[in-house]
Structure 1
Amino acid sequence: MHKTNLTNLDVDKLFEERSIDDIIEIERLLDAEIERKRNDLRSMVGDRYKDILAASDAIKSMKTMSENIVFNIDEITKTCGSLIDTPCSSIQLMPLEIETEARKNEQRVLLIQMRLAIFLSEQIWISLDNGNNLNSTQYYLLAHHVFMGISLNKQEYLDRLPMLENIKLSLVTLREKIFQKITEKLESVEITAEDTCHNLNALMLLENQTDDQLLNTFIEHRKTALQTLINSQFSNVRMQIAAMLRCLLTTIQLLHACFINTGSKNGLIWEELDNIVGENSQPTISKLELPVTPLISYIPNIIKEFRPKLKLSLKEDAKSIKSARVKSWISSTQNSIQKGLESSLQLVTTIKGLYMIREEAVKIDIPENWNKICEDLYLPEKFDIWYHFFQPILTTRAVTLLSKIIRNNIDEIKKDVETSVKNILQTGKSEIDLRLYVWTEDSSDIGKLEDDNRVLKMKTMGFSSEVITLCDRVDKTFLNLLEDISQYLYGVEFKDLPSAPYLLNDFKFKRKFADRDNLENHLRIECTSKSIEICRFIEDSLSKETNQNLIIKSLFCARFLQATCNLCGNFKKCCEFNNTSVDWVKVCDNFSKTSQVLWKNWVNSCVEKTLDLVKLLSDTSPRSMIANLTRWDDIEIQEQTEEKLFKSQISVPLKPSVPLTNILVKLNKDLSKVLSYTLPKEVHIYFLEAHVDVILKEYERVCSQDLNQIQALQYLLDVRFLSTLCIPRENSQLVTFSQNICDKLRNRIDPFDLDVFYSHLQNNIKKSIIQSQTLFGCLLPSSAQLINLGAYTKTKDQEKNPNLMALSVPSNNAWFPLLPITVPSQKLPGASASKKETKEKNPKPSRSTPKRAQDATSVVRQGAASLFGNLTTDWFS
């Protein structure tokens, strides 16, 4: 039968199915299996619990021997009592009896030594249990001394002591136990100077160490204590660092109290050690309370007078040596803390968590004589454990967290931008045409409080609700960052931050916030450098887009980058620490450059759409010219000869052609959709230059065709009109290009006719520009573009009867159309002299007529009369 089936037998079924021989065989197999299991169990117990079994056997043996010894001692006591009661002074001891008595004395001495050794073992265990390791050490040394005395007895006596070997083994075990207890005590986080001295002296007595060796041993044990804290599990990192700080503070105090020789007074170790091994010290046995027994008188004097022996030697340069060892310990401890806290600080994910760690550590009080301790240990003046060991590590972690938080903020901003762009595409809230959004009044535009008119402000800046929402999210991420670091940097909440966070002369306060400047600079640099990634992300995401989506996303992202510079105040604060705005200017410059690149996508799209209209300029067929030419100006010219006066009529173009006007209207509309007054100046100029370049190139192709004089005159006015209105003066390339085209067109005109027509043509160009500047105000590069034409020079007639043109004169570089009107003709150089005569015929006011002040009603009436008078006479001229 298989062995595995022996444990699962059914006895009743076995007797039913098997024969008697089989049953006997199964019984034999069962007995063999049981015996094998017993052997395995004995082997396992012997291997795993060998020490316990040996200790158990030793304890049983000691118990039996102790009972025998106690019984024999009682018998001896009774015998001695009977001898004392029986007078024997008169009995003369024979030499044989003397020898017998000597042997008995030897046996009594051996007996009391054995009893003393057993008693010392008990006292050692009791002292260890009470935590008195120094007494345990002294008792052990005395027990070892007693054992050495026992081993010097006659061999015949020793052969009768089977427990002698057990006592020897017991002493070895006790030595290891004492070492273990001393180590545990010295490696405790919190330990008093007295306990440290007791345990160090115990260690010195056991190992017979010098003071240098003892110092090294103490430092190594304190390193182990610190490493234990590093490897221990705490509820939070704050409690772990506080425990480590207490451990280091305790270590420095113990070093000073136990080892430093202060003046004429030695350290506590040497004072206590002198009471143990000095010449005037008490014998070790005097510290024991021996049981009352007549055998005490048989204790040898060498045992009674025993005290530990130790050679004390204090070197002259001991203090400098100890200071060097202390500095070496500080250096190694710094490395251990830095490596040990690396993993623990990974659990702290906020700057506020580091602030709580620092606050917990600052609560730990230092002793009043701390400066004296630092001086005696040759430590730096005002040496601070927290600042020296932990503050650099926390600063490094704070720097890492700042970089990580800013990185997360930038990633979150990227996701928000991507989400906002998707919402715009899904909801159809395009940034291409904001006119309805801006010019539609809403009850929420103006609030009761000063800051509640945010919507109206944003409308005037051209920022849509989606852009505002996105900027609010961006600003909130940096607000959370400022709130997180505020307490660490200044000790107060961000909303309660004062203008002066600390007093200049408060050393303790400044030491607490010693890394403030470092973190502020890092925050400023990180925010500045990482902000470039927003621009890169937008550029990369738009590089894959085409068609209409590219324009929508470009406009939204361009306005978002512009709005960030104006609306994200917390982002600005992160880049302006230490009262320096250079970095924020860099951020705004980067955003502005990227914004201009995105705006150019829209400009290029507008240029592509303009190409279809531009192609109509090159159609010079008679049918198209009849439809495209506007009304010409008929001018009568006179030529006086000696004989008679000759009069003739000439026709000069008065307005730009219809195709060019349509193009300009289209450009004006494109700019109006995106709110031209909110466009960056560079984008506005680029828009004009790109379109002018396309239009001029088309006119250049027109010049290569066979043009008649009428077509050449009209195209010459168109080019001059376009150049004067839209080409910036500083763009010499476009100016030269325009002049070359005009030269080609002049070559198509008869020189005599050109000489007669050109002054009138120039005059009509000025008229046309001045009359249409309000309609095409968006197409002016700057407010000073038309200054040379006298467009802003007020005549005396204008001062008396102001017209609507005064309202359209821009006060800054941002142009936008007011009303689609044509302004009445103004007086220009070269006008006919008939109007001068009319002006001179106006009656002058008499000097004798007194000037009376006009009341407000008359002023309003005159202004209204002037306004409606102009409406009836010159409005549609």
Structure 2
Amino acid sequence: MAKFNINLIDLDVNKLFEERSIDNIIQLERLLDSEIEKKRNALRSTVGDRYKDVLTASDAIKSMKTISQDIVDHIDKITSTCGNLLLAPSNVDLKSSFPIGKNKLDERTFVVQVRLAIFLNEQIWLALDQENNLDAAQYYSLAQYIHTGLGLSKKEFLDKIPYLEHIRNQKESLKNRIFHKITEKLESVETTAEDTSKNLNALLLLQNVTCENLLSIFIEHRKTALSTVITTSYSSVRVQVYSMVKCLITTIHLLHHCFICYGGSDKGLIWQQLEEIVSESSPKTLSKLQLPASSLLLYIPEIIKQFRPKCNFSTDVVNSLKEAKSVVECWLQCTLVTVEDGLKKALQLITNIKGLHLTREESLKIDLPENWENICKESHLPEHFDVWSYFFQKFITLRCRELITKKVSENTSQIQNCISYTLDQVLKLGKSELDLRWYSWVEEPGDISRSENCHRGLSMKTRGYSHNIIELCKKVDDKYLALLEDASQYLYGKEYNDGMNFIVKDFKFKRKFVDRDDIENHLRNECTTTSVSISDYILSSLPHSSTDSDLVTKSIVGARFLEAIFFLCPHFQQCCSLNNVTDKWPKVCSRFSQASNTLWENWLEIEVKQTEMICEKLHDISQTKMISIYTRWDEIEIQEQTDDEEVFKSQIRVPLKPSLTLSEILDHLNENLSKVLPHTLPKKIYLKYIEKNASVILSHYKIFAEEDLNQKQALQFLFDVKFLTAFCVPRENSHLIGLSQDICDKFRSKVDPFDLDVFYPYLQSNVKRAVGQAQVILGCLLPSPHHLASLGIYEKNKEQEQNPSLLALSTPSSTTWFSLLPISVPTSKFAAGQLTSKKSTKVRLFIRALSQ
């Protein structure tokens, strides 16, 4: 066959018969048959290896089908036979109708007990499925009693039913199952007094515990229930706390109803139910079962028919439970510790005060049982006992305080960052905070508005609060507004508004807001403490300034910010004076004012240094310099009368204005003071500015007083000192007044006494006139609006008062908005009616003669 080297698959049958002989075709057929058989064997081998399990399963399924059909047929036969047996009369006494032997009777009695044991196991399962644990416990007691009787049966009967041991083991597993179900019920968060009493009675029947220990067992299970609530994962803390409160209220409710009294009776529900089970009048346990119809029921022993569970308890024991005060106290202490441990972890997940409010609201929605106060009293709980207040309120309050502290601390940190950013930004701005005239005197569209807005308009400009200050204060106030909005519902049960008031209406409100005063006080203290941090931070950030200009800029911005907080941060004020407490906010204002004054001192020191540098111009008192600083002097014509009634006329010249150098210095001081809007400065700083600069100027004039001056220089410097003293030095400053007086005395000593006697009244009058004229230009340097009142500048004459046609502007007045324009016209050259004494005239003539 090897000679056939052809492809068997591609054979063409027609051509094969044409090209080959019959013998070759026969051999080719055999070759094909051989190849086909090889392929079949290979396929069988492959299928056997890969699908062996499938083939085996197919054979098993066919066999099971046959066996199942046989089982169904046998069951039908058994059912038919049982039905025929049930048709027999049930009232026939088979024992009397068919006398049997003693051995047969014992055997049937044994069999019926076995069947009862099996049946009871089934009933226990059914009772457990229906969550009727008390019935399951009773059935178990009966099953236990039956198994005890079976254990006394003949050995030959026991040997015939080895399955009995399996039934007994199944009964023990059912006991554990019953205990598990009872535990689940007793440790449920929400359960009824009826279910709890049934389960406790089931424990009494199964464990045969004493009534004295039953309360402790109940308490332990309720502790476990609470621990389960704490350790269980919930969708939110609010739900968890609600479950904890519900669990504790349920525990107290069950304690009272189950152990103390229920339904108007002086006995707890446990004892009422137990009497229905174990008393002599209670139904037998077997009568509670619906036994299947069978003739073997006649052979049930009478002792089994009469069985009922046994439990010894007395009224004295029941009454003793009412006095179990120590057990309740122990439960309160242990529960308090458990709640604390559970709440510490749970409350850490609440990050805002509003979340605490929602948690409290959810828990307080739980309706308390009727006659709650009587329940607590009869259960030996503290007077006016409340689950929320006793177990939870303290920890909720503590968490609220922690959140307030944390929130205020975060606010402080953020405020410090905002302050730092603002202080850095003002140094980069083109419009300096050192000169606010560009802001105060520029008209803007929003200066006047129909709607009141404390953060814009003329009110801000008049106070000197620039946009940087306003924006910074708004950021600060917004943070405290957020704090008030967060705490408002917890404290007052409503959204925050500026006119908040709170009235405790009834016990429900008192119960909810019992910690309100404590939280308000804590919030006030924390926010008050914040003020120290804010002011200290500003003060500590200034030394980092590299130049005097930067230091002054930061100091002014910081000082104005601390002053602006009083007006632009109402919510900060609300936090510090919550519930209209008035002693905190003034302390904050005082602290801010002190810090603001300290910051203004930095500006003041720089200004005084600049004044000292400018005052160096005063040191040059050479003739050339004096010529350039003299102003026009006043020429006054005086009349002098001799003894023989002869009148001599003469002219004297006295200073009319302060020197140009002093005027330049005062203009410089006035200019610098105008830049920072003097009416916005603290009164203390304003006076210090004037007094310190005046002291610097006087100290330089004191140096001049020691120099060798001519009379004209002395008169001019005397005028300057008196002008400066009258205009800038407050009358209350005795030190500067005394220094000025000493300097004036030295200058007067350098003037001829006789000339001084004549010149001095005119010099005084010119000083007064110069002060009155300078008040318009240099008004910023006046210590107070009424400073010049003693000079008589504001006195109105009677003619002007009687003439209503004169405008109010025509006479200087402390109440007018605009004072007179300065007038530099010299006084009249003739002083009418002013004559010197005879002695003075003679001296004058003598001196004039000598000079000629």
TM-score w.r.t. length of structure 1: 0.78
After superposition, give the CA deviation of every residue in 1:125-163 in whole Å (9 maximum; x if it has no partner): 222222111122122222222222233345565566544
1:437 aligns with 2:473: no
Shift of 1:700: 2.7
The CA deviation at 1:645 is 5.3
- Which residue of structure 2 aligns with residue 255 of structure 1? 255
- State the distance in 2 between where 1:334 and 1:777 align: 73
Q: 1:179 deviation in Å?
A: 1.4
Q: Aligned equivalents of 2:715 and 2:824: distance in 1?
A: 24
Distance in 2, matches of 1:187 and 1:363, equals 23
* Cα 1:406–1:157 shift into 2, 3 Å: same
Q: Does 1:281 align with 2:278?
A: no
Confirm or deny: 8 A CA contact 2:636 2:831 kept in the other structure: no
The more displaced of 528-537 and 284-293 is: 284-293
For structure 1, list consecutive stretches of 5 or more residues without a partner in the other structure.
1-66, 837-877
1:689 CA drift (Å): 1.7
Alignment correspondent of 1:728 = 730
* Residue 271 (structure 2) aligns with: 270
> More deviation in 801-810 or 656-665?
801-810
Letter in 1 for 2:523: L
Match of 1:674 among 673, 676, 685: 676
Are the aligned partners of 1:805 and 1:823 in contact in 2 as well (CA < 8 Å)? Answer: no
Cα offset for 1:615? 0.7
Letter in 2 for 1:234: Y
Distance 1:754 1:294, change over 3 A: same
The residue number in structure 2 matching 1:777 is: 779
**Deviation, structure 1 residue 312:** 0.4
Match of residue 663 from structure 1:
665
Q: Distance in 2 between matches of 1:88 and 1:152?
A: 23
* Contact 1:771-1:824 within 8 A present in 2 as well: no
2:794 and 2:814 in contact (8 A); partners too: no
Summarize the Cα distance change of 1:823–1:704 in structure 2 as closer, same or farther, 3 Å threshold.
closer
Distance 1:204 1:622, change over 3 A: same
Is contact 2:455-2:470 (8 Å) kept?
Answer: no
Q: Secondary structure at the match of 2:323?
A: helix
Q: 1:793-832 residue pairs with structure 2 within 5 A?
A: 793-796=795-798, 799=801, 809-811=813-815, 821-822=822-823, 832=831
Amino acid at match of 2:676: V
Q: Which residue of 2 aligns with 1:52?
A: none
- Give 1:77-92 correspondences, 5 Å limit: none
- Percent identity of the aligned residues? 48
State whether structure 2 residue 140 is matched by structure 1 residue 140.
yes
Q: Which amino acid aligns with 1:575?
A: C
Query: Which amino acid is 1:120 matched to?
Result: L
Report the Cα offset of residue 752 of structure 1: 4.4
Q: Does 1:616 align with 2:617?
A: yes
SS at match of 2:731: coil
1:874 is matched with which residue? Answer: none
Q: Per-residue CA shift, 1:68-97, capped at 9, x if unaligned? A: xxx9xx99x99xx9xxx9x99999x9xxxx
After TM superposition, the structure 1 = structure 2 runs for residues 490-509 of structure 1, keeping only pairs within 5 Å, are 490-495=492-497, 501-502=502-503, 506-509=506-509
- 1:567–1:674: structure 2 CA closer, same or farther, 3 Å change rule? same
Q: How does 1:543-558 map to 2 (within 5 A)?
A: 543-547=543-547, 548-558=549-559
Q: Which residue of the partner structure matches residue 850 of structure 1?
A: none
* Structure 2 counterparts to residues 7-156 of structure 1, below 5 A: 101-154=101-154
1:317-371 deviation per Cα after TM superposition (whole angstroms, max 9, x unaligned)? 5254234433432343233223212222222222222222233233322333334
1:344 alignment partner in structure 2: 346
| Alpha carbons 2:730, 2:787 under 8 Å: kept | yes
Partner of 1:190: 190
- Deviations, residues 8-46 of structure 1 (Å, cap 9, x unaligned): xxxxxxxxxxxxxxxxxxxxxxxxxxxxxxxxxxxxxxx
CA contact (8 A) 2:729 2:737 kept: yes
| 1:107 Cα offset (Å) | 4.1
SS in 1 for 2:185: helix
Contact 1:446 1:453 in 2 (8 A): no
Q: Distance in 2 between matches of 1:716 and 1:211?
A: 112
- Residue deviations 1:480-502 (CA, integer Å, cap 9, x gap): 2232233333333224x776544
Distance 1:89 1:788 in 2: 144
Cα distance in 2 for residues equivalent to 1:320 and 1:734: 89
Alignment deviations for residues 636-683 of structure 1 (CA, whole Å, 9 cap, x no partner):
455544366565544333322221111100011111111111222111
Aligned pairs for 1:348-747 (under 5 A) are 348-379=350-381, 383-451=385-453, 454-495=456-497, 501-502=502-503, 506-547=506-547, 548-637=549-638, 639-642=640-643, 648-747=650-749
User: How many angstroms does 1:508 deviate by?
Assistant: 2.6
Q: Which residue of 1 aligns with 2:11?
A: none
Q: What secondary structure sits across from 1:633 in the alignment?
A: strand
Q: Once the 2 structures are TM-superposed, how far is the Cα of residue 803 of structure 1 from its aligned partner?
A: 8.0
Tell me the distance in 2 between the aligned counterparts of 1:575 and 1:89. Answer: 101
Contact map agreement 2:455 2:568 (CA 8 A) in 1: no
Tell me the secondary structure at the aligned position of residue 219 of structure 2: helix
The answer to whether structure 1 residue 306 and structure 2 residue 307 are counterparts is yes
Shift of 1:230: 1.6
Tell me which residue corresponds to 2:791. Answer: 789
Deviation at 1:775, TM superposition (A): 1.4
Distance in 2 (CA, whole Å) between partners of 1:818 and 1:640 is 41
- With over 3 angstroms needed to count, the CA separation of the structure-2 counterparts of 1:106 and 1:835, relative to structure 1, is farther
Q: What's the RMSD between the two structures over aligned residues?
A: 3.6
Letter in 2 for 1:592: S
Three-state SS of the structure 2 residue aligned to 1:280 is coil
Q: Aligned partners of 2:544 and 2:183: how far apart in 1?
A: 69
Superposed displacement of residue 771, structure 1: 2.0
Aligned to 1:213: 213
Deviations 1:525-579 (A, max 9, x none): 2222212211111111123224212211221222122221112222222222232
Cα contact 1:447–1:453 (8 A) shared by 2: no
Which residue identity is paired with 1:686?
K
Distance in 1 (CA, whole Å) between partners of 2:370 and 2:141 is: 40
Q: Is the partner of 1:652 in helix, strand or coil? A: strand
Deviation sequence 1:697-737 (CA, Å, 0-9, x none):
22233334333333333222222221221122222222223
738-747 or 235-244, larger mean C-alpha shift: 738-747
| Partner of residue 55, structure 1 | none
Q: Which runs of 5+ in 2 are unaligned?
A: 1-73, 836-852
2: distance between equivalents of 1:440 and 1:155?
120
- Tell me by how many angstroms 1:272 deviates: 0.8
What is the identity, as a one-letter code, of the residue corresponding to 1:736? G
Say which SS state the counterpart of residue 427 (structure 1) adopts. coil
Alpha-carbon contact 2:278-2:311 (below 8 Å) kept: yes
Match of 2:204 in 1: 204
**What SS class does the counterpart of residue 437 from structure 1 fall into?**
helix
Per the alignment, residue 236 of structure 2 pairs with 236
String of CA shifts for 1:818-852, please: whole Å, max 9, x gaps: 7873477899xx9944599xxxxxxxxxxxxxxxx
Aligned-partner Cα distance in 1 for 2:720–2:543: 38
- Label 1:122 to 1:819 Cα distance change in 2 as closer, same or farther (>3 A): farther
Question: For the Cα contact (< 8 Å) 2:719–2:763, is it kept in 1?
Answer: yes
Higher relative contact order structure (alpha carbons within 8 Å, sequence separation ≥ 6) = 2
Q: 1:823 and 1:311, CA in 2 relative to 1: closer, same or farther beyond 3 A?
A: farther
1:270 positional shift:
0.4
Q: Is the 8 A contact 2:773 2:821 kept in 1?
A: no
Alpha-carbon distance in structure 1 between the residues aligned to 2:624 and 2:156? 150
